[in-house]
Amino acid sequence: MEKSINDEFERWLKVLGPTDPYVGQTTLGIRDVLRAHFLIADFFRQTDRGVGGIGPRDLGLLHSAMSRQHAGLGGIQKWNDKFAVCATLFYGLIKDHPFHDANKRTAFLSALYHLEKLGRCPTVDQSVFEELTVEIADNALDRHSRYGKFMLNGSDSSVLFIADFLRRNTREIDKKKYVINYRDLQAIIHKHGFSLENPSGNFIDIVRIEEKRSFPIFGAKQLRQTKLGMIRFPGWTKEVSQADIDVVRRKTELDYKHRVDSAAFFQDHDLMSSLIISYQEPLLRLAER
């Protein structure tokens, strides 16, 4: 974060105090949402667009939105379904307008982060989630034919519709193990600009392949290899150990830490490098909506 934005973020963390009453295994904390807001402010500052105002305009409204996750009566939790918990916070952050600006963008990024915490990632185009965000803000969820199914639930109809949407349009983040040989591994990483090269003895290098020109614009193209590390190499048809797969994924940053789950790595699903970079286009569009 830019220093001035980070300083303001740190100031708000002090205002909130050391404890976070909202954070839990299936819930977001107020610090999570605040960080989402300030990351958006920093991103838009870097694009020379800025935001209309940084930080909460009303802490009471922010607490109100956060507390929706824990609503209940007589010790009985209102929302026990994880999708409903995510949906009610998403809805509350948009409708309560707790920030000076970027409420929809903050809610959008927070919802994506919340889904990741629940072990889920979207299966639909980014624009679909963007449109849902705008429809919540505009009270336009009833344009969906499926919304009628929830209308008898009164004031809860919107949250229940959003929960249903999230359940149907996300999948579990895949962390399971796959069995592959070195030839398969080579094919997978080659699609992302990496390669296994220079076998020597029982080892082979993990390299990044970059295309360079000998002269700007008109020069001949040349491939440059940058060594990132090495793994054991008994032969192209041999099975790759899980330890060596983990090394390759870590060295190439095609791992879960960098938003690339096993389904994305092994089965060619879209990669999620990081939420704010992956979703920068809908975030930019939401600024105008």
**Taking 90 as the threshold, does the pLDDT of residue 68 lie above it?**
yes
The helix-helix angle for 82-96 and 126-137 (nearest 10°) equals: 60
Domain that holds residue 39: 3-173
pLDDT at res. 218: 56
In 3-state terms, what secondary structure has residue 259?
coil
- CA atoms of 207 and 198, how far apart (whole Å): 9
* 144 CB-side CA count, 13 A: 19
pLDDT at res. 155: 83
How many domains does the chain contain in total? 2
- Considering the domain architecture, whether residues 151 and 206 belong to the same structural domain is answered as no
Write out pLDDT tens, residues 257-289. Answer: 787 878 778 865 433 335 766 787 888 888 877
In a domain, 278, yes or no: no
Domain limit, last residue, from 173, 201, 218: 173
pLDDT at res. 198: 95
Write out pLDDT tens, residues 79-89. Answer: 889 999 999 99
pLDDT at res. 276: 66
Query: Maximum CA pair distance of the chain?
Result: 74
In a domain, 53, yes or no: yes
Return the higher-pLDDT residue of 215 and 150.
Answer: 150
In a domain, 280, yes or no: no
Domain limit, last residue, from 173, 205, 237: 173
Residue 193 near residue 208 (C-beta atoms within 8 A): yes
Helix (H) or strand (E) holding 255: none
- Considering the domain architecture, whether residues 12 and 134 belong to the same structural domain is answered as yes
pLDDT at res. 75: 78
- Considering the domain architecture, whether residues 53 and 135 belong to the same structural domain is answered as yes
CATH code where residue 146 lies:
1.20.120.1870
> What integer best gives the mean pLDDT of the chain?
88
Write out pLDDT tens, residues 159-183. Answer: 999 999 999 999 988 777 778 889 8
In 3-state terms, what secondary structure has residue 60?
helix
Return the higher-pLDDT residue of 289 and 123.
Answer: 123
In 3-state terms, what secondary structure has residue 286?
helix
Domain limit, last residue, from 140, 173, 206: 173
Write out pLDDT tens, residues 210-258. Answer: 876 555 555 566 778 899 999 999 999 888 999 999 999 999 999 887 8
In a domain, 210, yes or no: yes
Write out pLDDT tens, residues 7-51. Answer: 999 999 999 999 999 999 899 999 999 999 998 998 888 777 767
